[in-house]
A and B are shown apart, each in its own frame.
Chain A
Amino acid sequence: MESMLDTGNTAWVLTAAAMVLLMIPGLAFFYGGMVRSKSVLNMLMMVMGAAFVVMILWVLFGYSMAFGTDQNGLIGNPTEFFGLEGLMADDPEASLPAMAFVSFQAMFAALTVGLIAGAIADRAKFGAWLVFGGIWAIIVYFPVAHWVWSAGGWIFELGVIDFAGGTAVHINAGAAALALAIVIGRRVGWPKTPMRPHNLTLVMIGAGLLWFGWFGFNAGSALAADNSASVVFLNTFVATAAAGLAWLAVEKIRDGHATSLGAASGIVAGLVAITPACSSVSPIGAIVIGIVAGVLCALAVGLKYKLGYDDSLDVVGVHLVGGLVGTLLIGVLATEAAPAGVNGLLYGGGADQLGKQAIGAFAVLFYSLIVAAIIALIIKAARGFRVDEDVEVSGIDLAVHAESGYELGDSGGGGAFAGVGHAARNKEVQA
């Protein structure tokens, strides 16, 4: 039998998967630059460590839970593709090899869990975080990915549009971040003590890598190298540019200065918001979504000071709020001319789609919020979720990982006296 393999599509999906993988270190740098120098390594490690755990879970049974045969709209059959051995054989009828899709989706799962880490910078036990990430992936991410993207999933069947993860990735991670920030509590000294970002160039490198990788995330979600992927690609960059400008405009008016952290944050806010909507709006619609996301996220990051929760790196303000903006505005700005072929409120489609979008968005929000809080409370009671206060104040990098990020400054092992201890150690080794 002649193979149906489409090499162009396969090449694009594999490339897109690698681009999404690059978002994981990109996210680590984006977050890592925003923390203080004494905890940069711990932030990088939380993002990378979560990826290790989730990738293995995905191969064992996560893919089956998300994309296995539907059970009542809630979950895929977890044992169906256990270990993925059954997916290795070359299927001549598949235009895209199963393993390409499995790998592409694995990166989404790994990245989504890492997003949550930004809420609990500087203070979480590394082991407790990895346990949380694994359990949250199993109980929340895998089922929600099934609801949203798998045939038979209840949100999918409802007709909710979430092209690349406004609900499954960003609202999901943002709600979990809110729960975790509340359960774990504020950092010592927050909000009185200044906690300035220690490396804004690293933040911008991270934002740049995220922007690049996001073309794999969004355009790759077309699962084909075609017109739909190309429309998505264009909407993805133009919404991002609009959100970056909008965030800077808010800062200039409110604070008097357009900042580089604002630009980097605007990039991410725009990318988050266009993620669900990139297949269903026009380029002008994408610009509108970018502007709304840039303005609302720039305002939302201030809420934590009023409400008193220490979402350290604004996962709620950027991912939860940005995800809601994109998911809900589909109901307003969707146009039949776009690949998804649905009309929203402004294009004469009525409020029907908007209602569906709201149901999908808030169902995921509350499910993730509640389950994440329960998981975190259990871990907190069982083994503790926070490092000791003296470790948090002196720096989590040195205490938990026995490293310091920089051989300069006062972050721990660095500075003028760093060589003294090393010399003593070397002598012992020589003796």
Chain B
Amino acid sequence: MKLITAIVKPFKLEDVKSALEGQGIHGLTVSEVSGFGRQKGHTEVYRGAEYTVDLVPKVRIEIVVEDGSVDDIVDTIVSAANTGKIGDGKVWVSPIDSIVRVRTGERGAEAL
């Protein structure tokens, strides 16, 4: 099992979600996050005082999937979230040791 973590532009969340619906995923978790990459931040001006805002709002999507479907799902996310402009985000994959379904106590792939 793998954990796919994707950081994407907030307005791309709907596109990514609908693209994933046909992919047989079992669920996903979304959170609002902020950070910076190459995009850096932006500047705001209040009564002439400039503030540099270096953290940019992003959406983090987390999905746990079976090993076999990782590449397809990553490709789906990347193509749905792509705008071609700086700040589109990142997707990374990490191994999962174990997973438990809270309601039944099932473990491993059964719990997905």
- A residues at B contact (CB < 8 Å): 191, 194, 196-197, 251, 254-257, 259, 261-262, 265, 298, 301-302, 305, 314
Contact = CB atoms under 8 A, between A and B. Distances in A.
Interface of B: 44-53
A74 to B, nearest CB: 38
Contacts of A197: 46
A302 B49 CA distance: 7
A295 B51 CA distance: 22
Nearest to B47: A301
A265 B47 contact: yes
Nearest to B50: A255
A301 B48 contact: yes
Nearest to B48: A302
Nearest to A250: B48
Nearest to B54: A194
B45 A255 contact: yes
B49 A259 contact: no
A93 B105 CA distance: 89
Contacts of B46: 196-197, 259, 261
A313 to B, nearest CB: 9
A257 B45 contact: yes
B54 to A, nearest CB: 10
A194 B53 contact: yes
A196 B47 contact: no
A417 to B, nearest CB: 14
Contacts of A191: 49
5 contacts: A194-B52, A196-B46, A251-B48, A301-B48, A302-B47
Contact of B47 (A194, A256, A261): A261
A93 B52 CA distance: 65
A254 B49 CA distance: 11
A259 B75 CA distance: 42
Contacts of B44: 196
A254 B48 contact: yes
Contacts of B48: 251, 254-255, 298, 301-302
A179 to B, nearest CB: 21
A345 to B, nearest CB: 31
A262 B53 contact: no
A138 B50 CA distance: 40
Contacts of B52: 194
A14 to B, nearest CB: 37
Q: Which of A255, A261, A314 has the most CB of B within 10 A?
A: A255
Contacts of B50: 255
A259 B45 CA distance: 8
A194 B49 CA distance: 9
Nearest to A256: B45
A212 B53 CA distance: 35
A265 B47 CA distance: 8
B59 to A, nearest CB: 15
A191 B48 CA distance: 13
Nearest to A194: B51
A262 B47 contact: yes
A298 B44 CA distance: 17
A305 B47 contact: no
Nearest to A255: B45
A216 to B, nearest CB: 27
A193 to B, nearest CB: 10
Contacts of A314: 47
A401 B44 CA distance: 31
Contacts of B45: 251, 255-257, 259
A261 B46 CA distance: 7
B6 to A, nearest CB: 21
A423 to B, nearest CB: 19
Contacts of B51: 194, 196
The 3 closest A-B pairs by CB, nearest first: A194-B51, A255-B45, A301-B47
Contacts of B49: 191, 302, 305
Nearest to A200: B46
Nearest to A317: B47
Contacts of A254: 48
A389 B48 CA distance: 27
Given A194-B52, A301-B48, A314-B47, 8 more contacts: A196-B46, A197-B46, A255-B48, A256-B45, A259-B45, A259-B46, A302-B47, A302-B49
A302 B50 CA distance: 11
A305 B49 CA distance: 9
Contacts of B53: 194
A254 B53 CA distance: 20
Contacts of A196: 44, 46, 51
A175 B47 CA distance: 20
Contacts of A194: 51-53
Nearest to B51: A194
Contacts of A262: 47
